[in-house]
């Protein structure tokens, strides 16, 4: 373990993103775990008074448990860097790369990890080239089924699995309702897994893969946040060599994006046993039903101990503004 | 490097009691729409979603004085358990309140509840077996739908127009359900300043609906939280004012005083009342003694009728601000014009889906309640409920301006992607998608 022990931690949770509710749940869980270790924790919902508060109170470390834009797009992390306040998690530049799903896919693909074929479609593309011709081309190129999702954001919000090309337009509308850029990805049917990565100063370590088996067949918002709606297997029910490949792919993705401290890499293992990268999460969900805490507990870790270790690592790593 | 993990061949669903839940618990789950409402509490967001009374218009000194007197004069009793029926003093006051709407009743026929929401729960518990039918307006109060569902009632909606529930539609629906062998237990109705529709049932229709229900042995559950909050003149007298045996009346201090007291009441026919008292004791032993003492004290000493007049003024100004802003920004749309209460019911262009549009609204920092929350049968996609009770007139105007941007953006998107022939009015492509629908948001 590196870094001096934190005594005062500010956990940021809430915000005005679509994932506010999830963020509040994650933040409370982190705060409780740290408090059980004797750390003085203050939870703050970021608002116009936040930066002034941080300057005045100068906590040892900030834990941004903010899902959605402000917590994951790097902006808040850059501001913390300029204020010289250490924070848990990735640097602003790395966060921005991972936050944008198409960029992350491209970088991870270049690092030698497979990822399902995809196309990125800003809203303007349809304005210029016409909806029908673009969608027809996409449907032919990727073939059904596909996954339509906003290029940014999490918790499966705005995500639709499309099995019939006739449903593609409606799925596009649902995704564009969340943001102006949409990713259409060929759907790979296989074993869905999530690999948590922890790096508290001794290098990136892949946690046991968690296999996800939603009751409804789709890992939707409801399946994510209602206990009982998804069955999790830790470690995943995959062959040892496949698990090793998945762990290696996850670490490569984490490193290719330049992430630090913690992340969660979502993969699907295809019929040939090949792990395919779906996305990386700079701030994985840390709620009662989230995958990273599940993996940590399955690996025998105490959540509070790990979160404290990450806070120590953040103090040791300083406060990068880039 | 891979950390060593533990093995659990059966996996875990994180809820070992998942298969133990009662069937009536189905639907009690987190949903994407409900999660989106978390943003409505942020100060940047203009929330036209919730039905929170503007309690800041209630002078704190008035309540503080009542608190002080209760603690000085009746502290031990106010802090003790009480009767399951409620204190006699408060029930006397409730008779005075109801008299303003033409209702005459005996003090023994009043049962005090923890908000009228609990009254809804008790009545439903008393009358509904799984599969029994509850008739309700289309749309109806989301909190009532939740209660009816939790007792596994079949909710059958009946058409509502600008004059309230349509008697002829009620007659037809009863005939259909009866022919199908269904057992109809009661009609749930909000005659005054309807939630969410904002409309008021005319006097003539009140009489006609009571006759229809009498003819068909159907009890009427009259829910009237807003009746005293009229703007242009009082609504017609309560249905309970002309029918004692066939009506259970629900009243509340949540809107005319403050919801934090959680004090509502039921006025029921004698035989039903006895069972409601027992059911109330079984559920909560007794409603809050402390709240009852404070409310009684307030009603004894404060100018409570004057305070209701203050509330009317506040809400009238806000209603006017909302109607003006709707006129300015939505010249082609239609909405209801309430004479009281908290809500306007807006109908969107046919292509739009109010539930699907909500994320865009949240992005634009305005929140509303999608119409689907007020239907048990998937209706309401084109409608939204706009609450004018809580935001200031300035915030309401800003919120409606933002909503116009949201509607424009969504229309542009739909024009590009979904030809009119595939709009929700004609077909629902979502039914073929693999989206999982959540329950309606519990926004009152």
Selection from B394, B347, B400, B393 nearest residue B370 by Cα: B347
pTM score of the predicted model: 0.91
* Interchain pair A213, B11: CB under 8 A: yes
pLDDT the model gives residue A154 = 80
Helix (H) / strand (E) containing A295? helix A291-298
d(CA B389, CA B343): 8
Provide the angle, in degrees to the nearest 10, between the axes of the packed helices B142-150 and B115-127: 30
pLDDT the model gives residue A2 = 62
* Interchain pair A173, B418: CB under 8 A: yes
CA distance B365 to chain A (A): 9
CA distance A140 to chain B (A): 17
pLDDT the model gives residue B8 = 59
How many angstroms from the chain centroid is the CA of residue B125?
18
Read off the pLDDT band of B426 (50, 70, 90). Answer: very low
* Interchain pair A220, B435: CB under 8 A: yes
Read off the pLDDT band of B7 (50, 70, 90). Answer: very low
Chain B residues whose CB is inside 8 A of the A289 CB are 14
Pairing outcome for strands B366-367 and B46-47: parallel
Question: Each residue of B327-375: pLDDT tens digit?
Answer: 999 999 999 999 999 999 999 999 899 999 999 999 999 999 999 999 9
Mutation choice for A interface testing from B16, B353, B359 by most A CBs within 10 A: B359
Which residue of chain A is at minimal alpha-carbon distance from B41? A16
- B428 pLDDT exceeds 80? no
Say if CB A258 and CB A90 are below 8 A apart.
yes
- B439 pLDDT exceeds 50? no
- B172 pLDDT exceeds 50? yes
Burial class (CB in 10 A: 0-12, 13-18, 19+), B143: buried
Give the whole-number percent of chain B exceeding pLDDT 90: 84
Which residue of chain A is at minimal alpha-carbon distance from B16? A228
Question: Each residue of A193-219: pLDDT tens digit?
Answer: 999 999 988 899 999 999 999 988 888
CA distance B128 to chain A (A): 28
* Interchain pair B30, A225: CB under 8 A: yes
* Interchain pair B362, A18: CB under 8 A: yes
* Interchain pair B418, A299: CB under 8 A: no
d(CA B241, CA B243): 6
* Interchain pair B13, A228: CB under 8 A: yes
pLDDT the model gives residue A286 = 93
pLDDT the model gives residue B10 = 78
Which residue of chain A is at minimal alpha-carbon distance from B3? A207
d(CA B224, CA B189): 9
Own/partner contacts of B211-216, CB < 8 Å, gap of 24 or more, are B212/B167, B212/B170, B212/B171, B212/B174, B213/B187, B213/B246, B214/B243, B214/B246, B216/B174, B216/B178, B216/B184
Chain B residues whose CB is inside 8 A of the A148 CB are none
Say if CB A249 and CB A115 are below 8 A apart.
no
Chain B residues whose CB is inside 8 A of the A45 CB are 42
Chain A residues whose CB is inside 8 A of the B5 CB are 207-208, 234-235, 295, 298-299
CA distance B400 to chain A (A): 18
Of A171, A177, A300, the CB nearest to B359: A177
* Interchain pair B31, A221: CB under 8 A: yes
Cβ-based contacts under 8 A for chains A and B? 173
Q: Residues of A with catalytic annotation?
A: 19, 155, 225, 264, 266, 279, 281, 285
Of B15, B39, B436, the CB nearest to A228: B15
Beta-carbon neighbour count of residue B442 at 10 Å?
A: 12
Q: Return mean pLDDT, chain B.
A: 91
Mutation choice for B interface testing from A67, A221, A230 by most B CBs within 10 A: A221
* Interchain pair B418, A218: CB under 8 A: no
Chain A residues whose CB is inside 8 A of the B359 CB are 18, 157-158, 177-178
* Interchain pair B436, A223: CB under 8 A: yes
Chain B residues whose CB is inside 8 A of the A180 CB are none
CA distances in angstroms from B362 to A223, B44, B123, B390, B399, listed in the order given = 22, 10, 36, 18, 11
- SS3 letters for chain B? CECCCCCCCCCECCCCCHHHCCHHHCCCCCCHHHHHHHHHHCCCCEECCCCCCCHHHCCHHHHHHHHHHHHHHHHHHHCCCCCCCCCHHHHHHHHHHHHCCCCCCCHHHEEEECHHHHHHHHHHHHHCCCCCEEEEEECCCHHHHHHHHHCCCEEEEEEEECCEECHHHHHHHHHHHHHCCCCEEEEEECCCCCCCCCCCCCHHHHHHHHHHHHHCCCEEEEECCCCCCECCCCCCCCHHHCCCCCEEEEEECCCCCCHHHCCEEEECCHHHHHHHHHHHHHHHCCCCHHHHHHHHHHHHHCCHHHHHHHHHHHHHHHHHHHHHHHHHHCCCCEECCCCECCEEEEECCCCCCHHHHHHHHHHCCEECEEHHHHCCCCCCCCEEEEECCCCCHHHHHHHHHHHHHHHHHHHHHHHHHCCHHHCCCCCCHHHHCCCCCCCCCCCC
Which residue of chain B is at minimal alpha-carbon distance from A209? B5
Evaluate whether ipTM surpasses 0.95.
no
CA distance A97 to chain B (A): 22
CA distance A109 to chain B (A): 21
* Interchain pair B4, A300: CB under 8 A: yes
pLDDT the model gives residue B101 = 96
Of A24, A216, A301, the CB nearest to B38: A24
Pairing outcome for strands A181-186 and B133-138: unpaired
Chain B residues whose CB is inside 8 A of the A295 CB are 5
- B203 pLDDT exceeds 60? yes
Read off the pLDDT band of B444 (50, 70, 90). Answer: very low
Selection from B150, B157, B155 nearest residue B125 by Cα: B150
Per the document, the length of chain B is 444
CA distance B56 to chain A (A): 23
Selection from B247, B166, B174, B160 nearest residue B216 by Cα: B174
- B435 pLDDT exceeds 70? no
* Interchain pair B32, A126: CB under 8 A: no
Which residue of chain A is at minimal alpha-carbon distance from B439? A222
d(CA B277, CA B281): 6
* Interchain pair B356, A177: CB under 8 A: yes
Q: In chain A, which residues have pLDDT < 70? A: 1-3
* Interchain pair B359, A299: CB under 8 A: no
pLDDT the model gives residue A17 = 85
Of B13, B35, B360, the CB nearest to A22: B35
Read off the pLDDT band of B29 (50, 70, 90). Answer: confident
Question: Each residue of B122-135: pLDDT tens digit?
Answer: 999 999 999 999 99
Of B2, B30, B359, the CB nearest to A244: B2
Of B18, B35, B418, the CB nearest to A221: B35
CA distance A231 to chain B (A): 4
Of B11, B45, B438, the CB nearest to A222: B438
Mutation choice for B interface testing from A134, A228, A242, A248 by most B CBs within 10 A: A228
Mutation choice for A interface testing from B17, B381, B436 by most A CBs within 10 A: B436
pLDDT the model gives residue B85 = 97
CA distances in angstroms from A172 to A101, A131, A167, B352, B372, listed in the order given = 16, 10, 9, 14, 21
Question: Each residue of B363-389: pLDDT tens digit?
Answer: 999 999 999 999 999 999 999 999 999
Chain B residues whose CB is inside 8 A of the A232 CB are 11-14
Question: What is chain B's Cα-based Rg?
Answer: 23
């Amino acid at each position: 373990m590196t870094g001096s022990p934190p005594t005062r931690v500010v956990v940021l949770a809430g915000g005005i993103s679509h994932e506010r509710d999830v963020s509040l749940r994650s933040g409370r869980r982190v705060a409780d775990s740290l408090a059980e270790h004797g750390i003085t924790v203050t939870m703050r919902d970021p608002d116009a008074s936040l930066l002034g508060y941080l300057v005045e109170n100068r906590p040892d470390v900030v834990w941004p448990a903010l899902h959605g834009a402000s917590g994951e797009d790097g902006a808040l992390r850059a501001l913390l860097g300029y204020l010289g306040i250490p924070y848990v998690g990735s640097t602003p530049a790395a966060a921005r790369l991972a936050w944008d799903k198409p960029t992350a896919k491209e970088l991870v693909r270049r690092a030698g990890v497979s990822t399902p074929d995809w196309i990125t479609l800003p809203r303007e593309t349809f304005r210029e080239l016409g909806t029908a011709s673009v969608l027809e081309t996409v449907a032919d190129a990727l073939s059904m089924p596909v996954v339509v999702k906003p290029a940014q954001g999490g918790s499966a919000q705005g995500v639709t699995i499309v099995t019939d090309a006739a449903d593609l337009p409606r799925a596009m509308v649902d995704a564009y309702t969340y943001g102006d850029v949409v990713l259409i990805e060929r759907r790979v049917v296989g074993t869905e897994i999530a690999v948590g990565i922890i790096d508290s100063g001794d290098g990136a370590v892949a946690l046991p893969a968690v296999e996800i088996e939603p009751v409804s067949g789709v890992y939707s918002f409801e399946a994510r946040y209602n206990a009982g709606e998804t069955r999790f297997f830790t470690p995943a029910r995959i062959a040892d060599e496949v698990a090793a490949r998945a762990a290696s792919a996850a670490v490569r993705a984490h490193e290719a994006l330049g992430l630090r401290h913690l992340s969660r890499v979502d993969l699907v293992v295809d019929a040939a046993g090949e792990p395919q990268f779906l996305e990386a999460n700079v701030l994985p969900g840390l709620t009662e039903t989230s995958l990273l805490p599940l993996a940590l507990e399955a690996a025998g870790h105490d959540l509070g101990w790990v979160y404290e270790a990450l806070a120590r690592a953040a103090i040791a790593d300083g406060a990068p503004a880039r | 490097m891979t950390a060593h993990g533990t093995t659990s061949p059966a996996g875990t669903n994180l809820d070992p009691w998942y298969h133990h839940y009662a069937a009536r618990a189905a639907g009690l789950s987190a949903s994407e729409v409900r999660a989106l409402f978390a943003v409505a509490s942020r100060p940047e967001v203009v929330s036209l979603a919730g039905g929170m009374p503007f309690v800041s218009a209630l002078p704190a000194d008035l309540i503080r004085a009542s608190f002080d007197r209760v603690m000085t004069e009746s502290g031990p009793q106010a802090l003790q358990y009480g009767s399951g029926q409620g204190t006699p003093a408060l029930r006397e006051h409730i008779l005075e309140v109801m008299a303003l709407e033409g209702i005459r009743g005996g003090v023994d026929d009043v049962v005090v509840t923890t908000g009228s929401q609990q009254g809804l729960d008790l009545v439903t518990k008393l009358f509904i077996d799984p599969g029994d039918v509850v008739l309700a307006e289309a749309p109806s109060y989301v909190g009532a739908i939740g209660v009816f569902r939790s007792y596994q009632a079949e909710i059958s909606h009946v058409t509502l127009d600008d004059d309230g529930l349509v008697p002829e539609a009620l007659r037809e629906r009863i005939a259909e359900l009866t022919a199908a062998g269904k057992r109809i237990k009661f009609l749930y109705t909000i005659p005054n300043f309807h939630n969410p529709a904002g409309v008021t049932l005319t006097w003539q229709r009140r009489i006609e609906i009571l006759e229809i229900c009498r003819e068909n042995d159907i009890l009427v559950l009259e829910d009237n939280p807003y009746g005293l909050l009229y703007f242009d003149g009082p609504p017609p007298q309560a249905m309970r004012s002309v029918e004692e045996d066939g009506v259970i009346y629900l009243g509340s201090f949540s809107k005319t005083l403050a919801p934090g007291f959680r004090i509502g009441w039921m006025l029921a026919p004698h035989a039903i009342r006895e069972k409601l008292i027992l059911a109330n004791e079984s559920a909560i032993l007794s409603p809050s003694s402390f709240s009852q003492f404070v409310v009684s004290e307030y009603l004894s000493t404060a100018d409570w009728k004057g305070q209701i007049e203050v509330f009317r003024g506040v809400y009238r100004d806000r209603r006017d601000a909302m109607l003006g802003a709707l006129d300015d920004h939505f010249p082609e749309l239609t909405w209801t014009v309430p004479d009281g209460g908290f809500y306007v019911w807006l109908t969107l262009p046919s292509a739009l889906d109010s539930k699907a549009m909500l994320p865009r609204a949240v992005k634009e920092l305005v929140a509303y309640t999608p119409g689907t929350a007020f239907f048990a049968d998937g209706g309401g996609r084109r409608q939204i409920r706009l609450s004018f009770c809580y935001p200031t007139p300035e915030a309401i105007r800003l919120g409606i301006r933002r909503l116009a941007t949201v509607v424009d953006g969504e229309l542009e998107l739909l024009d590009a992607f979904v030809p009119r022939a595939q709009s929700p009015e004609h077909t629902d492509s979502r039914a073929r998608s693999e989206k999982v629908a959540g329950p309606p948001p519990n926004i009152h």
